[in-house]
């Protein structure tokens, strides 16, 4: 083997290795990235929401509504009806107003932040992603989360219009967002 | 007469070897060798303690690393650490992150008991202010968080709340995959808990595990991210001890072996003597092991460790016999009775060990007795084998001079010296006697490792005291009731300051009494308007109480096997454990526990220390019995013509042994309190003293006897005396006792009057 052939083999090998490494990482497809960019709102922003929670064993869905404030480092989940309740979601966990973070809530908090903030990098790291029509289906990669969450669906073209949290137990939370009331108003 | 031919002699040796080897292979499949330290405990050890100890999985190695990095470096360091951990776990050392509790298993057991289990604080709220729990449940239902309980069974979500309130495995550390992380204002602490399947007691396995771990640490150092690391775990201590022992073996062992070989060559100038010594040691070891295997179904490997140490004295018989044979037929005839008497006394002495209640000493007694029987037979073949080459002239002349110099001491003076020395040294030993059997004193870990261990304990609070509360009963139901009774007392004991905290089964699962109270309070709530309104809001009926599952023990709980132990033997008690932190060895605490039926405060370390103390005391009793036996046998069998001479000579031999033992132990006690290992060394001193005494009190010319005694004493002192410098306290204890004891015996035995002396004793 001449040095030139050897060099060629080495270059091709290095390129193949590089391809393989990238293939293993499976970055988000351009369509998914574009979809996330379309959904993403300038931070911070606030939005009203309605939650319809279907729980196995209950004859009817539980309804609640309130306001969601999404910032770069946290999300404030303020439910106004039927019970007034304020949750602060940060990377370290979910914290009810005036209380310590809920035990073991850090992982789910980080995922909710990723979805609500449209953080493509975090979504890529934590979920397997499937795009169908105007909905993105996110399946958790983390085994400890897979035990509780089957998938998260994020729907809406120009913004997140509806999020659906599908639990392994068969429970389902459908959260619909209404941007009208806060249109053009940045949250503080 | 036929044995006098070399061929017949070698043939008889071959027959003995074949016979022993045949018996060895015949028995081998039926024998199960024990390696657990549990099997060395006194036979009357508490069955409940045995059940507990049997479940402590000594071969499962757990170890931890604690890293501290600046907050800004945390992300990069955690990524590097995760990568290195992935490589470590794929290595052949079978190192794996310590499995965190399987969340699925936890959830499924608490889901099964949904609506029946509640935390103690929720139980109080349920009884005093149930509206608060209703409000919490309503809030929880509108949070965007998964629910896993059956809401029809547990409308208040009590089980989910209980799981969220369970004690954390590493307090204040958050589990993040294989890492446990704790952030402070400036720094982040990361704990990595690992386990390996390597055998804790195997030096080779420990070395492999530590080497792979050190590779991980080197790779992290190479990242140039500033960090500090603390190591914790038995594996690091085992490896450090093994490295130290290897160093000592190389230097002390190598030097002493070189000295012994040079000495033997200088004295005998014969390769055949060296070869035959090797044959005798090998054959006697084979015979000893075979005898142990036939007498005990489950011999202990530690028996072999001690036996291979003591077997060295068999070579002394080769020295005595070959030097005796080298001085002609008449001299040989004087040597044989002394050999037989020495061997018989020592054999009976070792057989006395079988009367003690300690399995290790019983097995050692059988091993040594059988080995010495074979040695006696083998050394009697020495003239027939032609091992009659005399020692070098220089060696002979040296001992003639020594013998003559001792002749200047009048027999009466010698007698007085021996008796006075025995009395004086005994009093000195009595006065200076101090013993400490604490196993911790035998630890050989470096200061650095111990400091890291302490630091890890302070930082993580992941460790409990060695002391635990053991609860035993004849059935699981009885045990469960007793366990609950003890659990209820823990808060009182904490308030008394007898313990800081604990880990109890009922920290994870409500007691039967609490379950009943939860059931009663819920039944009451569903009758009240507040409860009925809540159920109506949900649109469900009041849940049905599940009485059958309440009466069952939740054996499927992932932590069940961490708290309850049963034995395959149905006659053994069932045992439960409560682990303690910051417990005090307070009399009041011990009494409070002892007042509870079937409950005790138990520490494996204390038990091991007590076992060592038991060994020490049994060995002391054995030595006293052996000295009395020696006096009786020698008074009967020493070759003096008059009975009074025999009594006096026996007294002198006993006095020499007592002097050697007392002074060796008294001097050794100046370094460190006496322990069982000093007395194992004393065993060697006493059996060598018996041989030296019998040979000096025989009709063998004194100079001839001294030649063999000198070789024996010098080789023993060098081989074992070198161990005095060992960093391992147990080995050093053994070495220093043998060094001093044998030296004193060798110096004093020439004061004995030989049986063929014309002088009066």
Distant-in-sequence contacts of B85-91, Cβ < 8 A, 24+ apart:
B85/B178, B85/B192, B85/B216, B87/B216, B87/B219, B88/B194, B88/B212, B88/B213, B88/B215, B88/B216, B91/B212
Residues 6+ apart with CB under 8 A from A14: none
For the cut 60, the answer to whether the pLDDT of residue B576 exceeds it is yes
Geometric angle at alpha carbon B451, from B611 and B585, rounded to 5°: 40
> Is residue B361 within 8 Å of B353, Cβ to Cβ?
yes
> Is residue A107 within 8 Å of B176, Cβ to Cβ?
no
B447 membership: H or E segment, kind and range:
helix B447-460
User: Strand B501-503 vs strand B179-183: parallel, antiparallel, or unpaired?
Assistant: unpaired
Chain A residues touching residue B164 (CB < 8 angstroms): 102-104
Tens digits of residue pLDDT in B358-367: 788 889 899 9
Q: Please determine, looking at this structure, whether the domain spanning B61-100+170-238 carries the CATH number 3.30.70.260.
A: yes
B106 touches chain A (CB under 8 A): no
How far is CA A123 from each of CA A110, A114, A116, B110, B150, rounded to the nearest angstrom?
Answer: 10, 6, 10, 31, 30
The radius of gyration of chain A's CA atoms, rounded to the nearest angstrom, is: 21
Query: What is the phi/psi pair of residue A18, to 5°?
Result: -60, -40
Distant-in-sequence contacts of B163-171, Cβ < 8 A, 24+ apart:
B163/B106, B163/B107, B163/B110, B164/A102, B164/A103, B164/A104, B165/A103, B165/B119, B165/B121, B166/B106, B166/B507, B166/B508, B167/B503, B167/B507, B167/B508, B169/B100, B169/B101, B169/B462, B170/B460, B170/B461, B170/B462, B171/B460, B171/B461
Closest CA to A187 of A72, A95, A101: A72
The Cα of A171 is separated from the nearest Cα of chain B by a number of Å equal to: 8
Mean pLDDT computed over every residue of chain A = 78
Q: Which CATH class is domain B409-451+611-761?
A: mainly alpha
Q: Please determine, looking at this structure, whether the domain spanning A29-182 carries the CATH number 2.60.40.10.
A: no
Least confident of A25-29, A88-92, B47-51: A25-29
User: Strand A93-96 vs strand A85-90: parallel, antiparallel, or unpaired?
Assistant: antiparallel
Residue of B nearest to A52 (CA): B142
Q: Bigger pLDDT: B396 or B96? A: B396
Tens digits of residue pLDDT in B495-539: 999 998 899 999 999 998 899 999 999 999 999 999 999 999 999
Of B103, B151, B165, the CB nearest to A55: B151
For the cut 90, the answer to whether the pLDDT of residue B740 exceeds it is yes
Query: What CA–CA distance (Å, rounded) separates B748 from B275?
Result: 31
CB interface of B with A, residues 107-126, below 8 Å:
107
The Cα of A15 is separated from the nearest Cα of chain B by a number of Å equal to: 23
Q: What pLDDT was estimated at residue A21?
A: 37
Q: Which of B32-43 are b and which e, b meaning 16 or more Cβ less than 10 Å from the residue's Cβ?
A: eebeebbbbbbe
Q: What pLDDT was estimated at residue A188?
A: 38
Q: Bigger pLDDT: A159 or B292? A: B292
Mean pLDDT of B42-70: 73
Q: What pLDDT was estimated at residue B274?
A: 85
Q: What pLDDT was estimated at residue B459?
A: 85
Residue tagged 């020493």 (tokens): B638
Sign (positive/negative) of CA torsion B683, B689, B694, B700?
Answer: positive
Residue of B nearest to A164 (CA): B144
**Strand extents, DSSP E, chain A:** 45-54, 62-70, 75-81, 85-90, 93-96, 127-132, 135-140, 149-155, 162-167, 172-178
For the cut 50, the answer to whether the pLDDT of residue A3 exceeds it is no
Query: What CA–CA distance (Å, rounded) separates B482 from B463?
Result: 25
For the cut 70, the answer to whether the pLDDT of residue B757 exceeds it is no
B148 touches chain A (CB under 8 A): yes
Alpha helices in B296-410 (DSSP H): 301-310, 314-326, 329-352, 359-380, 382-385, 393-407
**Residue of A54, A64, A146 to mutate for B, most B C-beta atoms under 10 A:** A64
Q: Which of B396-412 are b and which e, b meaning 16 or more Cβ less than 10 Å from the residue's Cβ?
A: bebbbebbeebeeeebe
pLDDT band at A18; cut points 50, 70, 90: very low
Q: What pLDDT was estimated at residue A35?
A: 84
Mean pLDDT of B477-492: 93
Asked if B539's CB is within 8 angstroms of A58's CB, the reply is yes
The Cα of B166 is separated from the nearest Cα of chain A by a number of Å equal to: 9
Least confident of B6-10, B247-251, B421-425: B247-251
Mean pLDDT of B168-180: 79
Of A51, A94, A167, the CB nearest to B147: A167
**Residue of B112, B142, B147, B175 to mutate for A, most A C-beta atoms under 10 A:** B142
Mean pLDDT of B144-168: 89
B497: its two tokens: 């300051």
Mean pLDDT of B595-608: 86
Tell me what percent of the residues of chain B surpass a pLDDT of 90: 44
Mean pLDDT computed over every residue of chain B = 86
Chain A residues touching residue B103 (CB < 8 angstroms): 144, 147
Q: How many CB atoms lie within 10 A of CB B195?
A: 19
Q: What pLDDT was estimated at residue A25?
A: 46
Residue tagged 């060992």 (tokens): B726
**Residue of B74, B144, B536 to mutate for A, most A C-beta atoms under 10 A:** B144
Geometric angle at alpha carbon A89, from A84 and A92, rounded to 5°: 140
Q: Bigger pLDDT: A98 or A148? A: A148
Query: What CA–CA distance (Å, rounded) separates B485 from B498?
Result: 18
B544 touches chain A (CB under 8 A): no
Q: Bigger pLDDT: A41 or B398? A: B398
pLDDT band at A24; cut points 50, 70, 90: very low
Q: What pLDDT was estimated at residue A124?
A: 85
> Is residue B506 within 8 Å of B596, Cβ to Cβ?
no
Domain ranges of chain B: 1-30+269-390, 61-100+170-238, 409-451+611-761
Is the preceding omega at residue A82 within 30 degrees of 0, hence cis?
yes
Max avg pLDDT among A178-182, B161-165, B221-225:
B221-225
Mean pLDDT of B316-331: 89
Closest CA to B741 of B668, B637, B646, B670: B668
Query: What CA–CA distance (Å, rounded) separates A37 from A33?
Result: 6
pLDDT band at A165; cut points 50, 70, 90: very high
Mean pLDDT of B65-79: 92
């Amino acid at each position: 083997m001449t040095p030139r052939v050897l060099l060629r083999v080495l270059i091709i090998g290095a390129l193949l290795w590089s391809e393989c490494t990238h293939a293993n990482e499976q970055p988000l497809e351009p369509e998914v990235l574009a979809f996330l960019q379309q959904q993403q709102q300038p931070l911070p922003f606030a939005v009203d929401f309605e939650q319809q929670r279907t729980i196995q064993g209950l004859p009817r869905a539980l309804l609640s509504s309130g306001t969601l404030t999404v910032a770069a480092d946290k999300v404030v989940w303020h439910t106004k009806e039927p019970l007034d309740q304020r949750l602060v979601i940060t990377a370290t966990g979910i914290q009810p107003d005036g209380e310590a973070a809920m035990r073991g809530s850090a992982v789910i908090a980080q995922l909710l932040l990723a979805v609500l903030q449209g953080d493509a990098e975090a979504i890529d790291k934590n979920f397997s992603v499937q795009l169908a029509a105007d909905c993105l289906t996110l399946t958790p990669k983390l085994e400890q989360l897979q035990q509780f969450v089957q998938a998260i669906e994020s729907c809406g073209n120009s913004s997140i219009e509806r999020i659906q949290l599908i639990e392994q137990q068969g429970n389902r939370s459908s959260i619909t967002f209404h941007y009208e009331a806060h249109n053009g108003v940045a949250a503080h | 007469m036929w044995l006098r031919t070399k061929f017949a002699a070698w043939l008889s040796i071959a027959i003995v070897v074949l016979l022993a080897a045949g018996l060895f292979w015949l028995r081998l499949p039926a024998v199960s060798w024990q390696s657990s330290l549990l099997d060395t405990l006194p036979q009357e050890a508490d069955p409940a303690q045995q059940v507990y100890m049997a479940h402590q999985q000594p071969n499962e190695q757990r170890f931890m690393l604690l890293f501290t990095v600046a907050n800004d470096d945390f992300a990069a360091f955690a990524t590097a650490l995760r990568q290195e951990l992935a490589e470590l776990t794929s290595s052949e050392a079978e190192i794996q992150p310590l499995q965190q509790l399987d969340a699925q298993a936890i959830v499924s057991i608490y889901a099964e008991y949904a609506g029946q289990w509640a935390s103690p604080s929720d139980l109080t709220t349920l009884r005093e202010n149930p509206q608060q729990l209703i409000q919490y449940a309503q809030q929880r239902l509108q949070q965007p968080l998964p629910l896993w309980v059956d809401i029809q069974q547990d409308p208040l979500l009590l089980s989910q709340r209980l799981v969220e309130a369970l004690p954390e495995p590493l307090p204040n550390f958050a589990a993040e995959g294989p890492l446990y992380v704790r952030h402070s204002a400036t720094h982040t602490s990361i704990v990595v808990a690992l386990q390996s399947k390597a055998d804790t007691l195997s030096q080779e396995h420990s070395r492999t595990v530590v080497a792979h771990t050190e590779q991980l640490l080197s790779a992290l150092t190479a990242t140039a991210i500033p960090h500090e690391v603390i190591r914790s775990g038995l594996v690091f201590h085992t490896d450090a001890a093994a490295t130290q022992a290897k160093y000592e073996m190389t230097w002390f062992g190598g030097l002493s072996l070189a000295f012994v070989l040079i000495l033997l060559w200088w004295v005998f100038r014969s390769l055949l003597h060296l070869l035959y010594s090797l044959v005798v040691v090998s054959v006697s070891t084979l015979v000893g092991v075979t005898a142990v295997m036939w007498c005990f179904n489950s011999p202990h490997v530690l028996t072999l460790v001690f036996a291979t140490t003591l077997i060295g004295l068999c070579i002394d018989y080769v020295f005595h016999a070959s030097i005796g044979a080298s001085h002609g037929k008449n001299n040989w005839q004087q040597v044989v009775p002394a050999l037989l008497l020495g061997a018989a006394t020592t054999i009976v002495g070792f057989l006395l060990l079988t009367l003690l209640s300690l399995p290790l000493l019983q097995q050692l007694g059988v091993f040594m007795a059988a080995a010495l029987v074979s040695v006696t037979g083998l050394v009697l073949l020495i003239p027939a084998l032609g091992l009659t080459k005399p020692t070098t002239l220089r060696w002979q002349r040296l001992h003639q001079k020594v013998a003559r110099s001792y002749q200047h001491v009048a027999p009466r003076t010698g007698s007085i010296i021996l008796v006075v020395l025995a009395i004086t040294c005994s009093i000195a030993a009595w006065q200076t006697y101090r013993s400490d059997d604490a196993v911790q004193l035998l630890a050989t870990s470096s200061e650095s490792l111990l400091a890291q261990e302490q630091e890890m304990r302070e930082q993580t609070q992941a460790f409990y005291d060695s002391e635990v509360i053991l609860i035993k009963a004849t059935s699981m139901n009885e045990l469960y009731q007793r366990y609950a009774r003890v659990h209820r007392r823990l808060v009182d004991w904490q308030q008394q300051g007898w313990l800081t905290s604990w880990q109890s089964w009922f920290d994870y699962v409500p007691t039967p009494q609490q379950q009943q109270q939860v059931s009663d309070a819920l039944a009451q709530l569903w009758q009240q308007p507040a409860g009925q309104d809540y159920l109506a809001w949900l649109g469900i009926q009041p849940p049905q109480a599940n009485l059958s599952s309440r009466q069952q023990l939740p054996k499927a709980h992932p932590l069940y096997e961490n708290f309850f132990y049963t034995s395959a033997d149905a006659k053994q008690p069932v045992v439960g454990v409560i682990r303690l932190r910051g417990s005090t060895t307070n009399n009041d605490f011990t009494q409070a526990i002892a007042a509870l039926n079937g409950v005790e405060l138990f520490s494996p370390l204390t038990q091991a220390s007590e076992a060592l103390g038991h060994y020490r005391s049994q060995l002391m009793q054995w030595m006293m019995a052996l000295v009395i036996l020696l006096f009786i046998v020698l008074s009967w069998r020493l070759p003096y013509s008059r009975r009074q001479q025999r009594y006096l000579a026996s007294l002198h031999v006993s006095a020499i042994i007592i002097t050697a033992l007392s002074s060796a132990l008294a001097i050794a006690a100046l370094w460190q309190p006496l322990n069982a290992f000093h007395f194992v060394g004393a065993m060697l001193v006493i059996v060598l003293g018996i041989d030296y005494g019998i040979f000096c009190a025989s009709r063998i010319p004194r100079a001839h006897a001294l030649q063999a005694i000198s070789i024996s004493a010098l080789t023993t002192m060098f081989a074992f005396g070198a161990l005095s410098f060992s960093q391992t306290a147990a080995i050093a204890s053994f070495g220093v006792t043998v060094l001093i004891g044998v030296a004193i015996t060798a110096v004093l035995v020439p004061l004995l009057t030989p049986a063929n002396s014309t002088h009066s004793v």
